[in-house]
């Protein structure tokens, strides 16, 4: 897998900080992983919603996966 790129979006009321990912390549048949820390500052303690898009090249084919996730635990009051 080559050219791995993660894009994240959160509501404007939240602040997103994405640290640099550990690599943009996962060799074939590798058990290694690419890691990236993502911090979401949610001062209003509202429900966290994240839209994501992942782009990569696998076997010479450009792939894109995207979606939305809102199943995070409720922040403490």
- pLDDT, position 75: 67
Q: What is the pLDDT of residues 39-60, one digit of tens each?
A: 999 998 888 999 999 999 999 9
pLDDT band at 74 (very low <50, low <70, confident <90, very high): confident
Percentage of the chain lying above the pLDDT 90 cut: 75
Domains of the chain with bracketed CATH = 2-69 (2.60.40.1230)
User: Which DSSP letter does residue 14 get?
Assistant: S
- C-alpha to C-alpha distance for 68 and 8, rounded to whole angstroms: 10
Give, for 61, the enclosing helix (H) or strand (E).
strand 61-69
Q: Which pair of tokens denotes residue 62?
A: 């450009």
- pLDDT, position 6: 96
């Amino acid at each position: 897998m080559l050219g791995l790129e993660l894009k994240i979006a959160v509501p404007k009321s939240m602040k997103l900080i994405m640290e640099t990912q550990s690599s943009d390549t996962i060799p074939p048949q590798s058990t290694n992983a690419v890691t990236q820390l993502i911090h979401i500052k949610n001062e209003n303690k509202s429900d966290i919603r994240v839209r994501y898009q992942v782009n990569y090249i696998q076997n010479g084919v450009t792939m894109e996966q995207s979606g939305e996730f809102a199943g995070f635990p409720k922040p403490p009051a």
